[in-house]
Amino acid sequence: MRKERASIKYEIGDTIYHPQHGIGTVRDYDKKELLGSEYKFAILFFPREELQISLPAKKLDDTVREPLSESKARELLGEMSEVQESLSKSWKIRSRKNQERLASGDPLQLYQVYRGLLELRSQKGSLNNSDRKQLA
């Protein structure tokens, strides 16, 4: 049986941020055998959704990040006031671009989606289903 090697950056109990699920905690690490190979998985818990997921440990660094420090958050707030990018009028293009931004997990990209959709809602009075889901 082949064993997967993965460097572990996050320890049990560490707080993490996931682009789709928000703030969570590393609950545990578990080993599972799949197709004759042993893999290490991180068990993550997200209290807002009361959701527990397993992610391959080797993909953890690409999927989650540490929450922002207070100084980084203040720095980003300053940058946010300078961001001025309009959303596409085509809902398909807008939805695809917004989904890419949301998946990035980058706080500035998340802000652009949030600000743009709030602006669109104030102009149109409502949002389509795709836009509402992304704003939620």
Condensed to tens digits (0 to 9), the pLDDT of residues 9-65 reads 899 999 999 988 989 999 999 999 989 899 999 999 999 999 999 999 998 888 898
> What φ, ψ does residue 56 adopt, rounded to 5°?
-55, 130
Range of the domain at 115: 70-135
Confidence of residue 115 (pLDDT cuts 50, 70, 90): confident
How many domains, the chain? 2
User: Is the model's pLDDT at 114 over the cut of 90?
Assistant: no
CATH code for the domain of 8? 2.40.10.170
Residues 77 and 123 in one domain: yes
Residues 51 and 76 in one domain: no
Which pair of structure tokens corresponds to residue 74? 């203040």
Residues 96 and 111 in one domain: yes
User: Is the model's pLDDT at 122 over the cut of 90?
Assistant: no
Residues 37 and 76 in one domain: no
Total-model pTM: 0.64
Q: What is the pLDDT of residues 41-54, one digit of tens each?
A: 999 999 999 999 99
- Residue 1's pLDDT is 47
Which pair of structure tokens corresponds to residue 54? 């397993």
